[in-house]
A and B are shown apart, each in its own frame.
Chain A
Amino acid sequence: MSGFRHHRGRLAEDEIGFSYNGRILPARVGDTVASALLANGIEVIGRSFKYHRPRGVTSCGAEETGALVTIGSGAAAEPNVRATMQLVTAGMQVSSQNCWPSAQFDLLAINNLVGSILPGSPFAAGFYYKTFMWPARLWYQFYEPSIRRAAGMGKVPTQADGDVYDRVNSFCDLAIVGGGAAGLSAALSASQSGLRVVLMDEHASLGGQLLNAPAQQTALDQWRLDTIAALSAADNVILLPNTICWGRFDGNTLAAHEMVDSKVRHNYHKIHAKKIIIASGAIERPLVFANNDKPGVMLASGVRKLLNHYGVAAGKKLLVFTNNDSAYQTAFDYHEQGIQVSAVIDSRQQPSEQLLTACAERGIPVHRQSVVIKAKGWHGVRSVLVAHLGADGVVGPSNSVACDLVAHSGGWTPQVQMASHGGRPPVYNQQLTAFVVDQQAADTWSVGGAQGELGLYAAIDQAVAAAQAACQQLNSHGGDVVKPTQDCSGELNIEPLWRVPAKGKQFIDIQHDVTSADIRQSHIEGFVSVEHMKRYTTLGMANDQGRTANVNALALMAQCQGQSIEATGTTRFRPPIAPVSLGGIGGREVGQHVRPLRRTPMQDWHERQGAVFVETGLFRRAQYYPLTSETIDEAYVREAAHVRTKVAICDVSSLGKIEVVGPDAAEFLDRIYINMFSTLPINKARYGIMLREDGHIFDDGTTSRLADDRYFMTTTTAQAGPVLSHLERCLEIDWPELRVRVSSVSERWAAMAVAGPQSRATLQMAFPDIDFSNQALPFMGVVHGEFQGTQLRILRISFSGEMAYEVYTEAHYGEQVWQHIMAVGQTHEIIAYGLEAMGALRIEKGHVTGAELDGRTTLADVNMQGMASKKKWFVGQNLLQRQGMQDANRPCLVGLQAVDPQQAIMAGSILVTAANATVGCDKQGWVSSMTYSPALNSYIALGFLRDGHQRYGEKLYASYPLQGINVAVEVVSQHFYDPDNKRVKG
């Protein structure tokens, strides 16, 4: 309980209330969850991923490694939110995570002790890969459940997310990533050109590191406020605070995530920029010493921002530990505010005289050439052990120094992720002791801290030069920017200290509990590549993406390998660089907006009839129309039997329909189909098959000729799109000389199949002006007519094997025509039948569908090789001749009838000769589709069987080992019903 609200900072005076683990706490408008919790003296916020060590706030930004919380509850709960990035709103529910029963007292912290007693287990480097190599069954019984309970982060809600997310597509001339001094300067310069500028910053307040400095009327703050005011007033500038730019993609596209948290929760911005300036700044690196994860150990810059921006003192007794100049300012600011500074521990031999004098004036003791070897305290820090660091790298005897807040700094790491996206490797810079990207992508500039320039004036100069260059390339002029009256040199005088040479748990990646010992362990086990070390130790794989951990880990790895950091190299950066909600990426494209329903013209009718629907592509087709308390099996068998005995109607509007028009239409179809269409007489239909170039069956359907130069093609529902693209491709690329146009008319025509012995009589009554006699409209004939002024196109074709017609009419009148046929058909007891009955009928006839034509079958496989014309060339003909396609041993299509007629055959079964299929047994074939046949009063199936034609009469087993199902079947011809096709022609 050491943090407290010290003064107002830059926040408003207004107080709001929020709840933390059920307690109501006060906060100021503008507080983050982290600053509000610290202001309330809350030190331990959660427990760590593996060891369940107490964790608190470690920073003030996106690099936060300790304070992860869950916001909200129920369906709206969002786990693993960085408390430093989340603004408090009135009534917000915040809860700590990964602890039981509470963050203060966590029983699973036993992991911490076990981990230190038994090195190498259970949570040391590589524990996922090697610790649980014992009998596999133990994994399910013991390890997996217990690890799930022990390790991990917050819990993802299981209910559907009810919040609204949005997507914004925007276009600009210049996009600026980061709103610190550099980003603001670039925007101010570019704003004067009149070009469209977008500036994003992940924080609620723009200013970046400027916010770390005190607020009270300083030159820096005045400059910041004036610049923001100027930008806000400019019509051509859009400022997006609370917006993290998380990826740079091809074509200068940026992806950004805005936390809106009003009616819309998050916005996903897709920004198409002509030019990009990356001003994402630099973040502070931690120092690596024992217990550096303890609540109260924080990055010096974060400690400073907490005080100056949020008015929160994170402790009552500050100790600074550093290897560079930048952290001294934190000590000075705390001293200035009257908070005790117990000491500055500086690992360098000779910090500058200026700093030493400044400390002396303030009475702050400086321990030169000294290091903190360990932080001590039960939950939070209460003291540290300080020791002299010898020139030989060995630490001397230690003294205890009391403190409740350790502000540490190991230098600064440029945020190069954005510059690096798109495959630009970061390169090590000795002077900065960090990586920067030297080669910028086209139309991109990286400036300020992101490029390793830590000085204020220098960063502003760099940013303005980049903005002016960008404007110039766009034929405009960026203006000049007046700098603040006070500079910050940014001079670090850093001396690397990658790890304090002492014992204890020294954390590198605090969020994933990866220690310096884990890095060493991975080296000992032979992991040479950085990428492998990263995966083996899971370093940098938590939601902070290892921002603070990366450089320290690489340096330690290089030390282990006895080589330079340059030689060890770094890992590649990939988007997203920060956690992004999936809701944001999806935007409004959820549910039916991502998978819209394609309605057939008769959809309403099916719904009114209480049809049960099945998804086929984007359609929901009527599967069956149950009578009261009828099961699916009862319904489809009744419907199928009705087709065979009376008359029934089925909605087939989902079929693809394509008009093929032009003088060369006949020639074109001859090339597309394996069979002839140029010989097809006008007003006749023909069944056709088309192949892919590789010789496999592509699609089938009925195509009719309406005129010399005009055909009406139908395709299967599933292949409608691919077939159209294929036809267009052939015409535009392969045969541009053919004078043919194709266009999809799928949406223009409603289609219904009227099938059964009474179909002719029904249609004759429905449309008395059309002659349906066998002479006028024979099998495969086409006739045209009208119904109440609406066009009709009627094909006498049959999929069911009964006398049948397909009635096409204008889509808008589909339901009227359907209802008319239903009304007239009452005399003949017409009913509607669904997809399931249609399946039963076609299997009885041995017709193939997608289950058989699955993209891997040849003509011979489905016994259709005879259909291929020998008088002409067609697509797929050449590669159909390949040896493998002609192999006589390929399984071919057969019928299968259950020996016990009432025993169902499973689709997907394998065909074997013995009653019990065993692992490795000889699979003779498989079952592709099955049904109960009302015509045969038996379960029947279609399947593919090796040497199938020679095996009619043979008894096999359709075996489904996963469910222990074995069904005795007899091999028969695929044509179960009316093999001579008498009924269709009647």
Chain B
Amino acid sequence: MLRIKCPYCGTREHTEFTYGEDAKRILPDTDASLDVWNTYVFARHNVAGEHLEYWQHTLGCRAWLKVQRNTLTHTISWIGLPQDTPPQPEEECS
């Protein structure tokens, strides 16, 4: 059972939240090539380890949050707002 500490609402069960995908993707320019857009929309790293991802507090304050979660242990090491960056660069195993 994941428990997520919303910066606005405090610690809540993950059933109040909705997973919102990889947070390391960077929105391409509107005129970027089809390949770039294709990669942005469809390509994902299947990370075994620290993963930066979005969650929305859908049944709470509805804020979108950036969450650093270890996909192997489900440990959440950092939570911030979408424009924040986690304190240490996360390690990625691919």
* Distance between Cα atoms of A736 and B84 in the complex (Å): 12
Give residues 220-255 of A contacting B (CB, 8 Å).
249-251, 253
* Distance between Cα atoms of A34 and B20 in the complex (Å): 52
With a CB–CB cut-off of 8 A, which chain A residues contact B34? 878-879, 881-882
With a CB–CB cut-off of 8 A, which chain A residues contact B18? 725
Interface residues on B, range: 20 to 34
Check A878 against B2 for contact (C-beta < 8 Å). Answer: no
Q: Is A567 an interface residue (CB 8 A)?
A: no
Check B58 against A879 for contact (C-beta < 8 Å). Answer: no
Name the distance in Å between B14's Cβ and chain A's nearest Cβ: 9
Binary interface encoding of chain B residues 54-87 relative to chain A, with 1 for a CB under 8 A from any of its CBs, else 0: 1010100011100000000110000001110000
* Distance between Cα atoms of A725 and B62 in the complex (Å): 8
A272 partner, pick from B3, B62, B64, B82, beta carbons under 8 A: B3
* Distance between Cα atoms of A732 and B62 in the complex (Å): 11
Check B56 against A725 for contact (C-beta < 8 Å). Answer: yes
* Distance between Cα atoms of A881 and B30 in the complex (Å): 13
B56 partner, pick from A272, A728, A734, A878, beta carbons under 8 A: A728
With a CB–CB cut-off of 8 A, which chain A residues contact B54? 729, 733
Binary interface encoding of chain A residues 706-738 relative to chain B, with 1 for a CB under 8 A from any of its CBs, else 0: 000000000000000100010011001110100
Check A729 against B1 for contact (C-beta < 8 Å). Answer: no
* Distance between Cα atoms of A721 and B82 in the complex (Å): 21
With a CB–CB cut-off of 8 A, which chain A residues contact B41? 693-694, 879
A732 partner, pick from B1, B42, B82, beta carbons under 8 A: B82
Check B3 against A732 for contact (C-beta < 8 Å). Answer: no
B38 partner, pick from A250, A253, A729, A879, beta carbons under 8 A: A879
- Which B-chain residue is minimally distant from A731 (CB atoms)? B64
* Distance between Cα atoms of A877 and B81 in the complex (Å): 28
With a CB–CB cut-off of 8 A, which chain B residues contact A877? 30
* Distance between Cα atoms of A878 and B27 in the complex (Å): 12
Check B2 against A251 for contact (C-beta < 8 Å). Answer: yes
Interface residues on A, range: 20 to 34
Name the distance in Å between B23's Cβ and chain A's nearest Cβ: 8
Give residues 853-881 of A contacting B (CB, 8 Å).
873, 877-879, 881
Q: Is B32 an interface residue (CB 8 A)?
A: yes
Binary interface encoding of chain B residues 1-33 relative to chain A, with 1 for a CB under 8 A from any of its CBs, else 0: 111000000000000001010000001101110
Check A729 against B32 for contact (C-beta < 8 Å). Answer: no
- Which A-chain residue is minimally distant from B63 (CB atoms)? A732
A873 partner, pick from B30, B40, B64, B82, beta carbons under 8 A: B30
Give residues 693-713 of A contacting B (CB, 8 Å).
693-694
* Residue among A249, A878, A882 with most chain B CB within 10 A: A878
Name the distance in Å between A723's Cβ and chain B's nearest Cβ: 13
Q: Is A270 an interface residue (CB 8 A)?
A: yes
With a CB–CB cut-off of 8 A, which chain B residues contact A693? 40-41
B1 partner, pick from A253, A721, A879, beta carbons under 8 A: A253
B82 partner, pick from A725, A733, A879, beta carbons under 8 A: A733
Check A250 against B74 for contact (C-beta < 8 Å). Answer: yes
With a CB–CB cut-off of 8 A, which chain B residues contact A881? 34
* Distance between Cα atoms of A25 and B83 in the complex (Å): 71
* Distance between Cα atoms of A250 and B82 in the complex (Å): 25
Instruction: From known contacts A732-B82, A733-B64, A736-B83, infer whether A725 and B58 are also in contact, taking CB-CB under 8 Å.
Output: yes
Check B20 against A879 for contact (C-beta < 8 Å). Answer: no
With a CB–CB cut-off of 8 A, which chain A residues contact B2? 250-251
* Distance between Cα atoms of A299 and B89 in the complex (Å): 56
* Distance between Cα atoms of A729 and B82 in the complex (Å): 10
* Distance between Cα atoms of A877 and B34 in the complex (Å): 10
Check A728 against B27 for contact (C-beta < 8 Å). Answer: no
With a CB–CB cut-off of 8 A, which chain A residues contact B56? 725, 728-729
* Distance between Cα atoms of A250 and B2 in the complex (Å): 6
Check A251 against B1 for contact (C-beta < 8 Å). Answer: yes
* Distance between Cα atoms of A272 and B31 in the complex (Å): 49
- Which B-chain residue is minimally distant from A694 (CB atoms)? B41
Name the distance in Å between A585's Cβ and chain B's nearest Cβ: 13
Check B1 against A249 for contact (C-beta < 8 Å). Answer: yes
Give residues 244-279 of A contacting B (CB, 8 Å).
249-251, 253, 270, 272
- Which B-chain residue is minimally distant from A878 (CB atoms)? B37
* Distance between Cα atoms of A729 and B27 in the complex (Å): 12
* Distance between Cα atoms of A881 and B74 in the complex (Å): 38
With a CB–CB cut-off of 8 A, which chain A residues contact B64? 728-729, 732-733
Check A878 against B82 for contact (C-beta < 8 Å). Answer: no
With a CB–CB cut-off of 8 A, which chain A residues contact B38? 879, 882
Name the distance in Å between A789's Cβ and chain B's nearest Cβ: 32
Name the distance in Å between B55's Cβ and chain A's nearest Cβ: 11
Binary interface encoding of chain A residues 29-46 relative to chain B, with 1 for a CB under 8 A from any of its CBs, else 0: 000000000000000000
* Distance between Cα atoms of A724 and B27 in the complex (Å): 20
* Residue among B1, B28, B64 with most chain A CB within 10 A: B1
With a CB–CB cut-off of 8 A, which chain B residues contact A736? 82-83
Instruction: From known contacts A250-B2, A251-B2, A879-B37, infer whether A728 and B32 are also in contact, taking CB-CB under 8 Å.
Output: no
Name the distance in Å between A270's Cβ and chain B's nearest Cβ: 7
Name the distance in Å between B60's Cβ and chain A's nearest Cβ: 13
Check B62 against A728 for contact (C-beta < 8 Å). Answer: yes
Instruction: From known contacts A250-B1, A251-B74, A879-B41, infer whether A734 and B32 are also in contact, taking CB-CB under 8 Å.
Output: no
Check A734 against B1 for contact (C-beta < 8 Å). Answer: no
* Residue among B18, B64, B83 with most chain A CB within 10 A: B64
With a CB–CB cut-off of 8 A, which chain A residues contact B30? 873, 877-878
* Residue among A733, A734, A881 with most chain B CB within 10 A: A733
* Distance between Cα atoms of A729 and B57 in the complex (Å): 11
Name the distance in Å between A272's Cβ and chain B's nearest Cβ: 7
* Residue among B37, B40, B58 with most chain A CB within 10 A: B37
* Distance between Cα atoms of A519 and B33 in the complex (Å): 59
* Residue among B62, B63, B81 with most chain A CB within 10 A: B62
Name the distance in Å between A572's Cβ and chain B's nearest Cβ: 15
Give residues 610-627 of A contacting B (CB, 8 Å).
none
* Distance between Cα atoms of A725 and B20 in the complex (Å): 10
With a CB–CB cut-off of 8 A, which chain B residues contact A272? 1, 3
* Distance between Cα atoms of A882 and B2 in the complex (Å): 38
* Distance between Cα atoms of A881 and B32 in the complex (Å): 12
Check B32 against A878 for contact (C-beta < 8 Å). Answer: yes
- Which A-chain residue is minimally distant from B81 (CB atoms)? A732
* Distance between Cα atoms of A253 and B2 in the complex (Å): 9
Check B27 against A734 for contact (C-beta < 8 Å). Answer: yes
With a CB–CB cut-off of 8 A, which chain B residues contact A721? 58
Name the distance in Å between B4's Cβ and chain A's nearest Cβ: 10
* Distance between Cα atoms of A736 and B32 in the complex (Å): 20
- Which B-chain residue is minimally distant from A735 (CB atoms)? B27
* Distance between Cα atoms of A475 and B28 in the complex (Å): 49
With a CB–CB cut-off of 8 A, which chain B residues contact A882? 34, 38
* Distance between Cα atoms of A261 and B23 in the complex (Å): 48
With a CB–CB cut-off of 8 A, which chain B residues contact A251? 1-3, 74
Name the distance in Å between B38's Cβ and chain A's nearest Cβ: 7
- Which A-chain residue is minimally distant from B20 (CB atoms)? A729
- Which A-chain residue is minimally distant from B74 (CB atoms)? A250
Give residues 340-370 of A contacting B (CB, 8 Å).
none
With a CB–CB cut-off of 8 A, which chain B residues contact A725? 18, 56, 58
Name the distance in Å between A734's Cβ and chain B's nearest Cβ: 5
* Distance between Cα atoms of A111 and B30 in the complex (Å): 71
With a CB–CB cut-off of 8 A, which chain B residues contact A253? 1, 3
* Distance between Cα atoms of A249 and B82 in the complex (Å): 28
Give residues 289-319 of A contacting B (CB, 8 Å).
none
- Which B-chain residue is minimally distant from A729 (CB atoms)? B64
Check A270 against B1 for contact (C-beta < 8 Å). Answer: yes
- Which B-chain residue is minimally distant from A744 (CB atoms)? B62
Name the distance in Å between B43's Cβ and chain A's nearest Cβ: 12
* Distance between Cα atoms of A567 and B63 in the complex (Å): 50
Ranked 3 nearest A-B pairs via Cβ: A253-B1, A873-B30, A250-B74
Q: A873-B31, A878-B30 are in contact. List 12 more A-B contacts (CB 8 A).
A: A249-B1, A250-B73, A253-B3, A693-B41, A725-B58, A728-B56, A728-B64, A729-B64, A873-B30, A878-B32, A878-B34, A879-B34
Interchain residue pairs with CB less than 8 A apart (8)? A250-B74, A251-B2, A693-B40, A733-B54, A877-B30, A878-B30, A878-B34, A882-B38
